[in-house]
Structure 1
């Protein structure tokens, strides 16, 4: 992929993306430029990956064919105002700022330019990310494929209608927290049963990892996979019945619904503020 990549914001997600791209051979270190106000963080990125760094956002914007805005949503408007005159019109702007819709981003940019919105999640930092991707009408198929390749280099990425991004927030962006809570709860019970805590976390986390891979790689319905573990009269079916009686299914559904509702509310606030 003969593209120059610019990152404004050199935090954890920037690091995950760069590492994924370089490992996958998508680009070379010399074709990456990162700008940030954190000089120590920039120097660490340069030392680890051999990329270009600068403290000037406009220099990054002028450099990039694919410009990735890896900054917090509250910082994004000021950053866009700073760089919008130097972004090349043939470039594509990629935003990973949560809650900023395509119409909002276009209003900040104040020009017709290809824009892609991406909702990644934190497992990207260990190469197991899940990203939702959508675009405005100015993005070419080639540009979209390039950006999908970038986010697939450290996990999975799919095109999703922007109208579903609140759902994505609830079942992908926020859901690692639900899973961590589940792992912690199982580990606490294991510790109560006498297992050392470190070992308990290993067993519980690996069980979750393996179960998730079973869903993704077998294509079987989760209910079918659950039934495969539940032997008649066995230990697992008793545990599943207890979870059902305690309302685990409805609790998870309600949590996801609350998260979606909050995401919609925050998005509306962003649109009203423009």
Structure 2
């Protein structure tokens, strides 16, 4: 199939491009980066339509964000990503219609279920509403953008939409680059876990879910994509430090993160995803049951120092 991938230059997009090509699909990246096949600002409707003019695609994938490293700490750093999830989705839906695509796959994430402590039970696609309206205006902008992205895709006439709700990414290009770099700069503090846990997924496993969603999956359905063992943020980060020989993260009191409200909220949230629907319906499964094993495997695969 011919696939148009917005976000091909990102860590998920790069892995998805490789895996889609390996599965026999023809992939064209769309975005501002010079590495893309088609160049356009995804927030510019005319530029997007101009980039795809005269082309045909079977599937459009929206995996474009502006998230990375230290920029995820404050509300204002999410503005571009929120726009990509709203105006960017509108523009890509228009591109899908213009190019004759029949399927639209969207990248989403666990925080669309709402920031905060959801307790120790597993969240399924059916037992917890996606995008519940909260009372914090800052957080509501981010959750609202995730909600809008799915809603627009699912209600788009003539398109088969599938949404993938990912846990926190780790793995090649994320752990060994971004997280280890922050640890070496002592720029990734953690707080006491207090029994809270979040869901995780290896980015290559996430990309494999994208391939499966391109090829199958029920239209109008969302799928949680995460490994089988939710873990505290602090425990995950400490394992990364130990596995890669980086300084152990500083443990700080929660109040110290108040100037970084998004990080503060993420570290006090508890979200444990159940991905059994994806395993059952997409045939997807994680390579490792837990991120600790995945981190150790990644560290052990590094080339030996000369």
TM range (shorter): 0.3 to 0.5
Q: Which has the higher contact order (CA 8 A, sep 6+)?
A: 2
Q: Which has the larger radius of gyration?
A: 1
Larger fraction in helix:
1
Q: TM-score, normalised by structure 2?
A: 0.39
Q: TM-score, normalised by structure 1?
A: 0.43
